[in-house]
Structure 1
Amino acid sequence: MMELSKEGDGMTVKEVSRIAGISVRTLHYYDEIGLLRPETVTGAGYRVYGEKELVRLQQILFFRELGFQLKEIKNIMENPSFDEKEALLKQRDLLQLKRERLLGLVRLIDKTLKGERNMSFQEFDRSWIEKAREEYAREAGKRWGGTEAYRQSEAKTAGYRKDDWARIDAGMDRLFRRFAEAMAFSPEEEAAQGLVREWQQYITQNYYECTGGILAGLGELYRSDERYAKNIERYGEGLAEFMSKAIAYYCK
């Protein structure tokens, strides 16, 4: 990973634009649609990107290189079952297919330069790569993408803009902080149970109808998936386990 130093411990949008070879305007658009948000925004309004955001950007660019649309990329990467290592392995397979196609085109050019005129066009065929790409897109959303919750979330968030995401993120931040304060009590007490109700309502309001079954699954995910746990633990050590227990009790 490149050194981060120009703006605190991060990189400015111009620096990210330069090293990634994409425009500042593109990065602003990624932020606007919620695909790639900066780690922080300074008081002067400058976007600053940390290592986590650069890793996500690299994933996005791998997908873009393979022909995925931004909507597809967002759906895949926001899928609760998204696995970064698995994604990289799949991307590697698809890039190897793309490489084989390009090598076939190079060989065809070499033959043509040598005077061979067999009029072959199979090397231009992209259908097999497209088929592999589409299959991966289906696989990536298989565990969650076919659910009614996914369809509701996709429909509701499609029209969200930057201000909407900022409002939602701020609301989530407040709820996580209140959950951290409730750790002074038992997860079965009303201090925590009331917050679980609010959390369920918040998800329903902003994403999809969070049924008892879905809520129970999320509670288990917070405890068992280190990616979720790591994010939640920023608000307090042991918070992921606390939320998981509070949700499990609530869902009884």
Structure 2
Amino acid sequence: MYTIKQLADLANVSRRTLRYYDQIDLLKPTAVADNGYRYYNQETVLRLQQIRFYQELDFSLAQIRKILDRSDFNALQSLQTQKAALQQQADRLNRLIDTIDNTILHLEGNIEMDNKDLFAGFDEAKQKEYAKEAERRWNPKLVRESNQRWNRLSKEQQKAIMQEGNQVYLDMVAQLDNSPNSDEVQAIVARWHQHMRHFYEPSFATLRGLGHGYANDPAFRTKFEELHPDLPDFLQAAISVYCDKNS
């Protein structure tokens, strides 16, 4: 049996994450002692591994729970499928690395490289995915609209909006011991949603993308970790819950 700390250390996740997985019925402890301590057996460890693999393949927590809770779920078949998917990613990344290496040699004058070979490894499906992501995150029209809205504001209004945003994140830090799906936390996320409307009208896909960026983009993560080390992941979880409930 593993304690929650031992499992968190083993899987390189936070104890807060494991408690949240328990709350949403994604990963229940094998046993809970009278003192509230959670304990996990080997079967639960393997389920957590499955969760981590599916996260690497960009499945949402709701999708992962649905997959793992299916009556016909087979862990061995799942691992084989995950391996194939990850191998495809690895092969594509290796092709991209080869393209980089060859381009470096080409620029150094060591080899001649056809222009077509400059784009080896950039498959069409992945390019469409990149384009869609870029459109969602950096839509020129959205950026232009945001700049226009911001520039129409006075310096006093801009300062008030920034203070409002800072207060939202400070209030979220005060809720870190609470659950991301609690009424208190979700009320703060709703305030955050309204705050973002000062800049543009965000879709739920945009909000979810921002939450992902807060936790995974190095610049965002560093900024929020200055307020509290657990804040980036907590924000992502809370925003994800908000989008699931309201979209």
Q: Normalized against structure 2, the TM-score is what?
A: 0.45
- Greater relative CO, 1 or 2 (CA 8 Å, sep 6+): 1
Q: Normalized against structure 1, the TM-score is what?
A: 0.44
